[in-house]
Structure 1
């Protein structure tokens, strides 16, 4: 039997492309992944029974809780979505020297002959990549974590942070998130040291001049983190989180300086220091806008005199006690309101034409001192509103139309600043042989009966008095001409 080549190709390719998709559980979903930092968690060394019993889910929940109990992740937890992928292994646990295991991601202790260093093999990394690619969307892969089913302390970093179920091992994940997500450098002094180039990371430097230290913008507060009376370089101050210029960092014992005496990027079980937290928050705002959505979505609107329209903005939630986003509204650069909702009422306070309404949402966090432009924690949205005042005009019947009866209802609008209105109807331009009537300024219609029905031209002149001056608009109509 002949089998087309395309079918043969699909039988091979389609299976290989989709074979690694696994069941997913959304642990936390706070908003559209297009405006969230998405964490995807995979497990290794969990059997089908351990997944169905809930052990894997419990281990992941415990690790996530530990991670989000620490700042700045605690404060910005609602800026994250978290997805758990159920990866099934043949064996429970992961490989150790003398005790190999058959696991989905081939994780193992004693990586690089370091007992507590847990790595995935090259094939395991490929499997992990394929599982993530085929299980979640591209915008749901901002951070990848791998938890291994072993209680011995251990872990490693890189693109995917790997850590065990040991209660303290999630701190390894946090340290590695400082690298992979926060782009922070190690601050300890063990490793290969180089002092030839200024490090790219924000938490280490070669500079010793106060105003050139990258975490000390403008030479000190309020933009920089080092107090003016703090010695540079900083010695004798072993308090963990007092910013200064401490010798040693990025694997060097000298020549490279770090921001605080100790921090999570130097030692586990320490908090991120001020510079680390600032950088992590900036990285969050690189992905997450302070504006989740606005209404209306239409950015160009017409607002006629007397009409109103309510505009609103929704933002993620910050878990910071009394601090939340500040929201301000301005029209053409002039502040007109605050809060998440604002109503625009056209009372002829703006000239006819386009005016710009802008909402600005800002996180006034004290944890960011050195803002770049535009500020990472600020976002704005604009609408163009066409303000239209009511003008004096006959709106019905349409100009140059023909009447269909001897009685016609004229309808009109009158400008808000008009004080008097007058209606002429005649058989010649400007004539008033059919009607000469003063119109009540609040009247919007007039029924005129006994009009000619001979097909002649009927002339209407609509007068108004505004700002002490009379003006008029002329209209022409054709009288009704019934068949004979």
Structure 2
């Protein structure tokens, strides 16, 4: 879904007459591939006679993954497939060239495998990897180009794995935990919460150099579920100028849960990749000879338990809340153009993002043309919106940034608590606009955001 540029480059260089096609099997199906996050597990070091074991190993990994939060809650956002790539020999190379242990720390072995994976990569004993990543890309392009994340499952009992563009894991002790940890790197951009070394230290969802509790990116979690600002130590116990949110997150130790900050980061990435609106009805002009009542519905990909909230508005007035379908009768409409909009967002308590209801907003709008002769036509439009307000709180200048998939403009009214409109502005798609509120009194204001004259979000704005 997100790998189109990579795949375009690959397709330019692939000779399809020599393309190797392997058996692809679905082992978890939640919905259409273009509306789900597609995990693809590729076999490495499995001979053809071991494909039954490969499927079992892959299924066991998925069972573990979707028993853990937040994957358990968002399981219906994922599909999973396996690609059965045969190797001539079982296992993986273990050359005994690591410098972080006294070699040979395990028996030195070689194996004739499809991707030529090896332990001791980058001189680290447990780092299981291959430099033949182009071969992985080619297999994906030829066999499952709709993938979102690939996981290479290596048929070896030795502990090992790695993250990066693709995740790698062995099948040995803690294999599933390794795979889930590496998935945290590869798909969700999480950092290790043990010190990864100076070259890999960087600002990220769960890593920062900020120590001010009011400014740190996970400030809303401070003091909750063990979240704080904890300093990294290197392998010699020397403090480093980097900080993590938790002491026992899965991104530090296998066998633990993801901390609240990493959990939130995973959910936000899920929302980046997949809209919770799976489908809707009616699609433009699919109702033949419409008569009343007219039914409108959403099919949502619901977390478990469901935390999605939906607000329905008709002609800019609230019509219904938190239901999946509504019916309109004649008296609900005015002559001329009517607008029915459903606005959906995730109100999960696993999220403490400021004004999250405006960060990931998903809308469907139906335009209903009605006259004394009845319904003339019904047109529909789906849109994904992101509205960002920063800094907030502020003393003087506030920035409004707007992004949406349908290139609409956003009208923003800054309103006082007593309902008076104090400022209005129009923000174009992908535009950031500054507004001077230095003349406003200290206090709380509301920024009401309208797309196509429909209220899609309200953000709290604090003037210091």
Q: TM-score scaled to structure 1, two decimals?
A: 0.67
1:204 counterpart = 2:210: no
Change (3 A) 1:152 1:193: closer
Q: Which residue is 2:30 aligned to?
A: 30
The answer to whether residue 345 in structure 2 is matched with residue 362 in structure 1 is: yes
> By how many angstroms is 1:301 displaced?
8.1
- Structure 2 CA distance, aligned partners of 1:34 and 1:191? 37
SS in structure 2 opposite 1:212?
coil
In the alignment, the residues of structure 2 paired with residue 146 and residue 95 of structure 1 have an alpha-carbon distance, to the nearest angstrom, of 15
Q: CA deviation at 1:326?
A: 2.6
Q: Is the 8 A contact 1:303 1:385 kept in 2?
A: no
- Offset at residue 342 of structure 1 (A): 0.7
For 1:203 and 1:177, how far apart are their aligned partners in 2? 15
Asked whether the 8 Å contact 2:345–2:357 carries over to 1, the reply is no
Q: For the structure 1 residues 383 and 101, does the alpha-carbon distance in structure 2 shift closer, same or farther, using more than 3 Å as the test?
A: same
Residue in 1 that maps onto 2:48: 48
* 1:189 paired to 2:195: yes
1:15 matched to which residue of 2? 17
Superposed, 1:449-460 pairs within 5 Å as none
Match of 2:301 in 1: 316
Larger CA deviation: 107-116 vs 72-81: 107-116
> Does residue 271 of structure 1 match 2:254?
no
Which of residues 307, 318, 328 is equivalent to 1:335? Answer: 318
Per-residue CA deviation, residues 375-411 of structure 1 (Å, 9 max, x unaligned), is 35541100011122359xxxxxxxxxxxxxxxxxxxx
SS of match in other structure, 2:180 = helix
Instruction: Please name the residue that 1:482 is paired with.
Output: none
User: Can you list the C-alpha shifts for 1:10-34, whole angstroms capped at 9, x where unaligned?
Assistant: xx93333x2x221100111211122
2:226 equivalent in structure 1: 242
Q: Distance in 1 between matches of 2:233 and 2:314?
A: 50
Deviation at 1:300, TM superposition (A): 9.8
Q: Residue 446 of structure 2 corresponds to which residue in structure 1?
A: none
| Other-structure match for 1:102 | 112
Instruction: Say what the alpha-carbon RMSD is for the aligned residues.
Output: 2.7
Q: 1:171 to 1:372 in 2, by over 3 A?
A: farther
- Structure 1 pair 283–302 and aligned structure 2 pair: CA distance change class (3 A): same
- Number of matched residues? 347
Question: Aligned to 1:387, which of 346, 370, 373?
Answer: 370
State the Cα distance separating 1:70 from its structure 2 match: 1.4
> What is the DSSP-based 3-state SS (H/G/I as helix, E as strand, rest coil) of the residue aligned with 2:134?
helix
Counterpart for residue 468 of structure 1 = none
Segments of 5+ residues of structure 2 without an aligned counterpart are 1-13, 96-107, 375-464
Return the offset for 1:327. 2.7
TM-score after normalising by structure 2: 0.69
CA gap of 1:15–1:302, structure 2 versus 1, over 3 A, is closer
Is the partner of 1:126 in helix, strand or coil?
Answer: helix
Alignment CA distance shift 1:39-1:371 (3 Å): farther
